[in-house]
Structure 1
């Protein structure tokens, strides 16, 4: 079986896609949720219910722009833009890490 020109183009395209995928993948840059007494209730909610969205509901109590722990200037979503989905990007730490 002979490999034709279209086959080589397809193989090249797959190679380019693989190289781009490898180039953009890397270390997570978002901060993890601290495993401390303040955040312990959120870990317990996720462990009990399995719902990160349920745990997200408690974040605005401390993390807000009205005198709480403010967001960095380049933070993509703030409470006024929509529902808080903190645990979509900020991952929970595993016990012992």
Structure 2
């Protein structure tokens, strides 16, 4: 079976797409949720009710009004919409 010019173009494009995918898929950069006494209740809520239910408790401590402040480049703040903390911040394995 002989490869035609179109086959080589397809292979080249597929190789470029794969190279780009591998280049952007580095290590995880977001912080994990600590496994400390303050956050342990959220681990239980995730087990029982899911991540969306646990997300509702995050703004009680993580807020701009005297709580744990967000970093300046944090993509979403509570005033911007519903918090989905556990979408990016993963739980640690026990």
> What is the TM-score normalised by the length of structure 2?
0.97
1:3 aligns with 2:3: yes
**CA displacement at 1:72 relative to structure 2:** 0.3
Give unmatched runs, 5+ long, in structure 2: none
Give unmatched runs, 5+ long, in structure 1: none
Partner of 1:92: 91
Partner of 1:81: 80
Partner of 2:38: 38
**What is the number of residues matched between the two proteins?**
94
How far apart in 2 are the matches of 1:14 and 1:55? 40
Alignment RMSD, CA only?
A: 0.6
Structure 1 stretches (4+) deviating beyond 3 angstroms? none
Partner of 1:63: 62
**CA displacement at 1:48 relative to structure 2:** 1.5
